[in-house]
Structure 1
Amino acid sequence: MHARGHSVRHFFEWDRSTYRLGGPHVLKHGMFKGTALAAALALSAMVSGCGTPHATQNSLTSNSSAASAISYPMTVKDDMGNTVTLKHQPMRIVSGSEGTDEILVSLVPRSRIALVTTMASNPEYSNVVAQVKGIPAWSGDDPEQALAVHPDLVLEAGYVTKSVLDQLHQAGVPMYAFSLNDFNSIADIEKNILTVGRLVGEPAKANALVANMKQDITQIEGAVQGQPRPTVLDYGSYGYAAGRDTTVDDIIRDAGGVNVAHMLNGWQKITDEQIVKWNPDVIIDSSDDAAFLKKLASDPALQSVTAVREHHLYAINSADLSSVSQYVVRAVYDVAKVLHPTAHLKAPKVMA
């Protein structure tokens, strides 16, 4: 797997999301970008709404008017099957992944975010460096650090160290953990945004964020419609390619390309022989792995490959390509610009 960008990508999917989520690609891809240990989404409960009827939410992602009405106490099941009860609207939220770092800053005021991940301040992996400036950070493997800020909501990932989860649970901190299967597509990311929005009591903002994502992608798809769709391979120095059920597969498709590795399931290691057989028109990699593309360009075994022969090797911004938040639309835009340089593309709203 690739280091970070790809590495992260590879965790979520084991994907760039990985980092975001926590894997070699945990290193970057995925909601849990940051560190393997810091990529779990957990939720804590407390803050607002005394005396209101206890509400049990079976669907945190419904767009119905009923689902838009938030009340506390709220009881939900997280993606790991654990029951989570929020007594009040969360006001001291701890984020355990870069994905939730990025989602939270668009949904709640800074004053409600008690901790973000250490990756949130790294521009190579994060899209919210400026927004989180001044917010304390944690690595994700020190439950005492999280407990010290008295969180009423912790967002964690299912892969996080069990001892960390156990200590937070024992301390009575409500946690919402996202499953590793929740970051395999842009649709998954949209669902996660809606889930976080419901948990923090901001469903309208979450719905608007997802609506903007859909509009941005529709605009990009319209701009490249009717143009030839080049074949594309996402490949990095760890030797892994992004197949179906990865956010990268969606990114390539929505950007007007055809993923030559779509027949693979998730992230799979491939050989030079496979690349020659696929003969992609374009090869992309994350910008933190850009030096690898230079090696590909001079690799004797790949000189017959169209992308190599015609110098169609492109480094895509790592923070975008590995994103498992609303910023994934930037990756669609970035790749579309590479695949269709003459298309009239409008910058996504998230870039405004």
Structure 2
Amino acid sequence: MLLCSASTAAENARGAHKFPLEMDTLMGALSDARKPSPVPAESYPRTVTYRFMRYDFVADQEHEEERSIALPHQPQRIIPHATGLTEILWAIVPHERLLAVHKSCKDRQFSFLAPLLPADLPTYGTDDAEIVIGYRPDLVMASFFSNENFLHQLHTAQVPVGQFGFFDDLDTIKDQVLLAGRLTGEEDSAQRLVAVMTEKLHDIQTVVRQQRGDAGKPPTVLYYDNMAYVAGSGTTFDSMCQALGVTNIAAARGIKNFKQIDYETLLRWNPDVIIVPDESSFDKQLYNQEILATAQAVRQKNIRKMPTVYLLSSSQYLIASINYLAGLLYESSF
């Protein structure tokens, strides 16, 4: 038996559902893996060399290159330029070393840190290079999607920038955690966070496997939003499905990344469960489409709502997203 519909607010939705692991405890473990350790004097200056992955969405090709960044001392004035990177840093770095965060980090729809960040922690916008430079950071952690002009201005001002590459699954996120540890001199904390991620995922999978038992074939699942996009292979949603041993039907049908499909295609694929963003009323729209009246998920009332913050997870909190998705699929077992 699958779960009833979720509440529109992420917190209320969490409270209404049952999950393999108790969500608040899981979130606490993922939010703080700090393991303070003295930094030997001989550790700096250092040059950190790392692999940077760029993805060409038009050509569907990955391009890998080696990059390096010279750090004269352990960074103490850090500014991350992405929500996911901020979430990673929050878990492994003393909080006083974070000078400012992107404004999206204080939006509960996009960041798990929104309720945790101090009210007086400064924020800035995507293209606010001059504001960032004005804080005199000794390390800016940028993403593969950071604006080129933003990066150019930082380089011109000789601000040390570590740019993180493309990621699409749990393993590449773990790599980013470890790189964040190397860049900040918090290797022990980063390794501890990766260990927590591995342990908690194993716990989720064990509970799901035990409760599912011999219930038969795992469900086929489809992410579908109000712009008609589905998530195929090469997405964190597909990574969630793989972690739970369920079939992401878009990936199974050969879809890569995100692609729009029409109702006829949806009906032909006929997934057991459809996942839609919690903040929308798209579930009602699908239920009211006459063309979809015979669709399995519509007939069985198996359109499930997942808060956007879980759908967009790009950090260690992807483990929490997997826990949430498991709750949507198998709640009656827990």
Tell me whether the two structures share a fold, i.e. TM-score over 0.5.
yes
Aligned-partner Cα distance in 2 for 1:159–1:124: 20
Equivalent position of 2:203 in the other structure: 219
Match status 1:91 vs 2:76: yes
Structure 1, residues 116-148: CA drift from partner, whole Å, max 9, x if none?
A: 110111111110113322211111201110011
Q: How does 1:29-178 map to 2 (within 5 A)?
A: 52=42, 71-77=44-50, 79=52, 81-133=66-118, 134-178=120-164
Equivalent position of 1:32 in the other structure: none
Greater RCO, 1 or 2 (C-alpha within 8 Å, sep 6+): 2
Which of 266, 280, 297 is residue 275 of structure 1 equivalent to?
266
Cα shift at 1:164: 1.3
Where in structure 1 are there 5+ consecutive unaligned residues?
1-47, 53-69, 345-352
Equivalent position of 1:309 in the other structure: 299
Which of 266, 284, 293 is residue 275 of structure 2 equivalent to?
284
Cα shift at 1:94: 0.6
Q: How does 1:179-190 map to 2 (within 5 A)?
A: 179=165, 182-190=166-174
Q: Structure 1 pair 337/75, CA: closer, same or farther in 2 (3 Å)?
A: closer
Counterpart code for 2:202: T
Cα shift at 1:150: 0.5
Equivalent position of 2:317 in the other structure: 327
Q: Structure 1 pair 322/273, CA: closer, same or farther in 2 (3 Å)?
A: same
Equivalent position of 1:210 in the other structure: 194
| Structure 2 contact 273–302 (Cα < 8 Å) conserved | yes
Q: Please give the TM-score of this superposition, normalised by the length of structure 1.
A: 0.75
Q: Please give the TM-score of this superposition, normalised by the length of structure 2.
A: 0.78
Aligned-partner Cα distance in 1 for 2:331–2:50: 45
| Structure 1 contact 255–339 (Cα < 8 Å) conserved | no
Aligned-partner Cα distance in 2 for 1:255–1:137: 36
| Structure 1 contact 282–313 (Cα < 8 Å) conserved | yes
Moved more, 312-321 or 142-151: 312-321
Cα shift at 1:159: 2.6
| Structure 1 contact 107–205 (Cα < 8 Å) conserved | yes
Aligned-partner Cα distance in 2 for 1:214–1:242: 24
What secondary structure is seen at the aligned counterpart in 1 of 2:108? coil
Where in structure 2 are there 5+ consecutive unaligned residues?
1-38, 53-64
Aligned-partner Cα distance in 1 for 2:297–2:245: 16
What secondary structure is seen at the aligned counterpart in 2 of 1:158? coil
Counterpart code for 1:276: L
**Aligned residues: CA RMSD:** 1.7
| Structure 1 contact 49–72 (Cα < 8 Å) conserved | no
Moved more, 267-276 or 98-107: 267-276
Structure 1, residues 300-351: CA drift from partner, whole Å, max 9, x if none?
A: 121111111111111112112211011111111111011112334xxxxxxx
Cα shift at 1:253: 2.5
Aligned-partner Cα distance in 2 for 1:103–1:209: 9
What secondary structure is seen at the aligned counterpart in 1 of 2:333? coil
Cα shift at 1:77: 4.3
